[in-house]
Structure 1
């Protein structure tokens, strides 16, 4: 494999943010960024092992119906690769074991949760949390403030205290299967992003700062390695200051857009650790 950062963005079955995600990867410095339909992986024409960074984009995966992303999770876990005795999940396990990165956004986050990739407390594709309807029963399209946990192992949020990103979801409320699960998430600092007050000083359950009523205000999760990461807000939608709704009124907005920082951290890690 050449000494280039290679990112893959999965498309198909209703996703519609793959081009924005690919653009964010390119802006962050990835030299190879391929948008690949899921059918190309299942046919064996494209192999996960040829990439360093897997992106599960947002959109309306499998119709965004009740149990959104569950059909996609079953597809990735159980679908066989054409003319092979292997399943795609085996390639995914190898990808993870090789220390590579995965980011899921919105429906992609739902996909990772329902596959058991996050928070991966059991490390065997066992689901322990889910995402369900927002408390207000409505689709939410707004900008939110996110407090980052400085003690989290998450690769993507290194060096960040807080970021502002847009949310666009109807099923974004994270719930856990038990108090013990939440205790583990908290103790291991896996709830890496929380909906917060505007100054990023503290998490909040108050609407609309917390747009969905998520347990412990969790907006994003990572696994214990910090290499698997998912979040409901859309970082690919804020990679330039003009994406922010107040860009003509706020002089202190960063030129590159806060969402880009997550992708830059991913590319930096790949160059330092995987190439």
Structure 2
């Protein structure tokens, strides 16, 4: 079967085409979706891409989380469909209460762009099964509102239930509490993170590695994991 993964575009999205390319490189068919539609076009998984969205000046992702298509996104997530939110998409997921907590302006008040080392904390999700627990990966990061926050009670629950999917390693680039870079929901089908795995899927265009400049492809495993998750359900 050909796995079809939808990528939703909002006014201001700028990494939707990159996400589509990453999906294609992983071996699935990308499907372009529009935020104002109520039609998911029969896709098997969803990506809420990075960039910006209208209304970010109020609070990042807050208005986009009310877009028409988010009704279908919530229903799809509740049914178990794999959903990935990247950067602005992660902000939408927390604003839509599909993931706990919130995201605020970086603690240093500056936009940050760096190749960021992450530790993989949870490999039992639809988007992380092709990693190994404790694996260190390098994924490009670019954001101004990437500081993850939550109450101490929520943070303790997240930690206790194993919902931290990724943690910043070596450097915390934005002041995120407990170095949290990405989360999963309890069911493991919804994952959000601030770094951009779609920018680390093709040799020659990814982060530098010890082997060669721009050779990092750690992000590809996000998309191959989702393809495997969908294929297991269909088998």
Match of residue 147 from structure 1: 119
What is the DSSP-based 3-state SS (H/G/I as helix, E as strand, rest coil) of the residue aligned with 2:6? strand
Q: Which among 19, 33, 52 is matched to residue 36 of structure 1? A: 33
Q: Considering only aligned residues, what root-mean-square deviation do their CA atoms show, in Å?
A: 2.0
CA contact (8 A) 1:153 1:224 kept: no
What is the deviation of 1:245? Answer: 4.5
Match of residue 106 from structure 2: 134
Q: 2:70 matched to 1:72? A: no
TM-score by length of 2: 0.91
What is the DSSP-based 3-state SS (H/G/I as helix, E as strand, rest coil) of the residue aligned with 1:116? coil
Query: CA–CA distance in 2 between the matches of 1:167 and 1:255?
Result: 16
CA contact (8 A) 2:204 2:214 kept: no
Deviations 1:91-149, CA, capped at 9 Å, x for gaps: 33431233211001000000001000014xxxxxxxxx110010100000111110011
What is the deviation of 1:274? Answer: 3.2
CA contact (8 A) 1:165 1:238 kept: yes
Q: 2:223 matched to 1:268? A: no
Q: Which among 44, 47, 55 is matched to residue 52 of structure 1? A: 44
What is the deviation of 1:217? Answer: 0.2
What is the DSSP-based 3-state SS (H/G/I as helix, E as strand, rest coil) of the residue aligned with 1:210? coil
TM-score by length of 1: 0.78
Match of residue 168 from structure 2: 195
What is the number of residues matched between the two proteins?
232
Q: Which among 206, 211, 230 is matched to residue 251 of structure 1? A: 211
Query: CA–CA distance in 2 between the matches of 1:227 and 1:245?
Result: 27
Structure 2's unaligned 5+ residue stretches are none
Matches within 5 A, 1:79-94: 79=68, 88-94=69-75
Match of residue 197 from structure 2: 235
Are the structure 2 counterparts of residues 113 and 93 from structure 1 closer, same or farther at C-alpha, using a change threshold of 3 Å?
closer
Are the structure 2 counterparts of residues 59 and 187 from structure 1 closer, same or farther at C-alpha, using a change threshold of 3 Å?
same
CA contact (8 A) 1:28 1:263 kept: yes
What is the deviation of 1:253? Answer: 8.2
Rg comparison, structure with higher value: 1
What is the deviation of 1:49? Answer: 6.1
CA contact (8 A) 1:49 1:95 kept: no
Deviations 1:18-45, CA, capped at 9 Å, x for gaps: 1100011111111x31112222x24xxx
More helix by share: 1
CA contact (8 A) 1:153 1:225 kept: no
